[in-house]
């Protein structure tokens, strides 16, 4: 990766991936784009542009003018939001992503596509979920992810496009808020713990889901995109995860630092049903073997880092 266009750059992942890529490849080598206005570091730290990924001509023109060799395609509508608006979720997640594939093909760029644990469904083995297994998701978000996993394989086989991708678990981070997903509770719980000392979870006690801390997700994107292609047997949709967590497990880890933290529940049936249809713990051996996936953070180290960063931000806001 030398010259990179990032779509959906204002979101939870893009807000941290764009500065990370700019540190590695140089500020001028990373063009941040989004439908929403780009703010702060995204706009000031390097080139940026407005882009609706469903506009094929604008997308292709931007990639061509920037002389990009890589597209990191993050634009999307997340699981819970998607269940509320089928047409929008399909249009952005399927049509917008096919547009990204077509632009990559036309401009001879590599394409990173972020799939998700949402690509699995209730018939999937929930623990030790294999890399290659039954999928059959029950959300429009998941159906779109499976479709794109297959289309990314197809564009590689048929047209030689250098497509690569990960199946992300729920990502926990402190920089930008999550965008309407089911795993969002695992981000909100830290913010609320530091702000208010308590959190009401919309996901029920005992519901385990795969999770990963954002720095490991950023390293995984770069690690996969820089991997020797001759070692990639799967290429797209690699299972990646660092921990399997339920709300009480996170609360217990927070409680070691904030002993008065209180967790209670007001379960949202929609997001709980989605969570129950997803696996508990992925088998990530293909990612480890084919390109050296090695997450650094566990629940303890992630919790220490999240709380210390959120506390520092709170102190700064109070003194500003
Ligand atoms: P997010 O919702 O925080 O950000 C998505 C961004 O896409 C937003 O900034 C939004 O403005 C933009 N967008 C929406 N429609 C657009 C359009 N038509 N054209 C251009 N931009 C548009 O999402 P995120 O968490 O940053 O996720 C990025 C990608 O990673 C998504 O494909 C998501 O499915 C995938 N993913 C995320 C997670 C996670 O936990 N964050 C987990 C698995 C997969
Ligand atoms: C969501 O909950 O929708 C995302 C995801 C796991 O894909 N965080």
Active site residue 141: yes
Q: What mean pLDDT comes out for the span 163-190?
A: 97
- Report residue 247 as tokens: 């709300």
Whether the Cβ atoms of residue 17 and residue 32 lie closer than 8 Å to each other? no
Domain chopping of the chain, boundaries: 4-169+213-239, 172-210+242-280+297-319
Residue carrying the six token digits 């209730």: 122
| Cβ of 182 less than 6 Å from ligand 2 | yes
Report the pLDDT value the prediction gives residue 195, as an integer from 0 to 100.
96
pLDDT at 259 over 80: yes
CATH number among 3.30.465.10, 3.40.190.10, 3.40.50.700, 3.40.50.720, domain 4-169+213-239: 3.40.50.720
Residue carrying the six token digits 């996969």: 224
- Report residue 317 as tokens: 């806001």
Q: What mean pLDDT comes out for the span 269-298?
A: 98
Whether the Cβ atoms of residue 247 and residue 207 lie closer than 8 Å to each other? yes
Q: What mean pLDDT comes out for the span 279-299?
A: 98
CA-to-CA distance for 131 and 144, rounded, in angstroms? 18
* pLDDT single digits (tens) 223-238: 999 999 999 999 999 9
CA 261 – ligand 1 centroid, Å:
30
Q: What mean pLDDT comes out for the span 118-134?
A: 98
Report the pLDDT value the prediction gives residue 320, as an integer from 0 to 100.
80
Report the pLDDT value the prediction gives residue 255, as an integer from 0 to 100.
98
| Cβ of 58 less than 6 Å from ligand 1 | no
Q: Identical fold at 4-169+213-239 and 172-210+242-280+297-319?
A: no
| Cβ of 296 less than 6 Å from ligand 1 | no
CA-to-CA distance for 99 and 79, rounded, in angstroms? 21
Of the candidates 141, 185, 190, 213, the residue annotated as catalytic is 141
CA 146 – ligand 2 centroid, Å:
14
**Nearest-CA residue for atom 7 of ligand 2:** 116
Residue carrying the six token digits 């609706």: 52
**Among 174, 171, 172, CA closest to 312:** 174
CATH architecture of 172-210+242-280+297-319: Alpha-Beta Complex (3.90)
**Nearest-CA residue for atom 4 of ligand 2:** 181
pLDDT at 278 over 80: yes
Percent of the chain with pLDDT over 70: 100
- Report residue 59 as tokens: 């997308």
| Cβ of 72 less than 6 Å from ligand 1 | no
Q: Sort 141 into a burial class: Cβ within 10 Å, 0-12 / 13-18 / 19+.
A: buried
| Cβ of 118 less than 6 Å from ligand 2 | yes
Q: Closest ligand 1 atom to the C-alpha of 81?
A: 2
Residue 32 sits at φ, ψ, to 5 deg, of -90, 130
pLDDT at 1 over 90: no
* pLDDT single digits (tens) 39-98: 999 999 999 999 999 999 999 999 999 999 999 999 999 999 999 999 999 999 999 999
Residue 235: partners with Cβ closer than 8 Å, 6 or more residues away: 152, 153, 156, 163, 164, 165, 229
H helices of the chain, in order, are: 14-25, 40-44, 56-66, 79-84, 86-90, 96-107, 140-159, 185-196, 214-225, 247-255, 269-277, 285-291, 299-319
Q: What mean pLDDT comes out for the span 277-305?
A: 98
Residue 131 pLDDT grade (very low, low, confident, very high; cuts 50, 70, 90): very high
């Amino acid at each position: 990766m030398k010259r990179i266009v990032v779509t959906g750059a204002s979101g939870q992942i893009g807000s941290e991936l764009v500065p990370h890529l700019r540190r590695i490849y140089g500020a001028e080598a990373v063009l941040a784009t989004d439908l929403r206005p780009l703010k702060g570091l995204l706009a000031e730290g390097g080139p940026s542009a407005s882009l609706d990924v469903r506009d094929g001509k604008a997308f292709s023109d931007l990639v061509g003018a920037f002389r990009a060799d890589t597209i990191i395609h993050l634009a999307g509508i997340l699981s819970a939001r998607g269940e509320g608006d089928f047409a929008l979720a399909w249009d952005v997640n399927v049509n917008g992503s096919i547009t990204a594939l077509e632009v990559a093909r036309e401009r001879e760029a590599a394409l990173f596509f972020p799939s998700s644990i949402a690509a699995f469904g209730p018939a999937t083995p929930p623990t030790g979920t294999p890399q290659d297994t039954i999928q059959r998701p029950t959300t429009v978000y998941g159906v779109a992810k499976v479709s794109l996993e297959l289309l990314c394989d197809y564009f590689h086989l048929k047209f030689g496009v250098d497509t690569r991708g990960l199946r992300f678990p729920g990502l926990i981070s402190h920089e930008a808020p999550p965008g309407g997903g089911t795993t969002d509770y695992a981000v909100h719980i830290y913010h609320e713990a530091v702000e208010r000392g308590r959190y009401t979870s919309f996901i029920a006690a005992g519901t385990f889901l795969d999770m990963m801390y954002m720095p490991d997700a950023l390293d995984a994107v770069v690690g996969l995109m820089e991997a020797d292609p001759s070692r990639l047997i799967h290429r797209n949709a690699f299972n990646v995860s660092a921990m399997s967590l339920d709300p009480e497990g996170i609360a217990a880890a927070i409680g070691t630092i904030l002993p008065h933290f209180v967790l209670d529940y007001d379960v949202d049936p929609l997001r709980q049903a989605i969570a129950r249809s997803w696996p508990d713990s992925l088998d990530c051996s293909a990612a480890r073997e084919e390109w050296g996936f090695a997450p650094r953070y566990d629940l303890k180290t992630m919790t220490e880092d999240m709380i210390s960063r959120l506390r520092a931000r709170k102190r700064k806001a109070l003194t500003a």
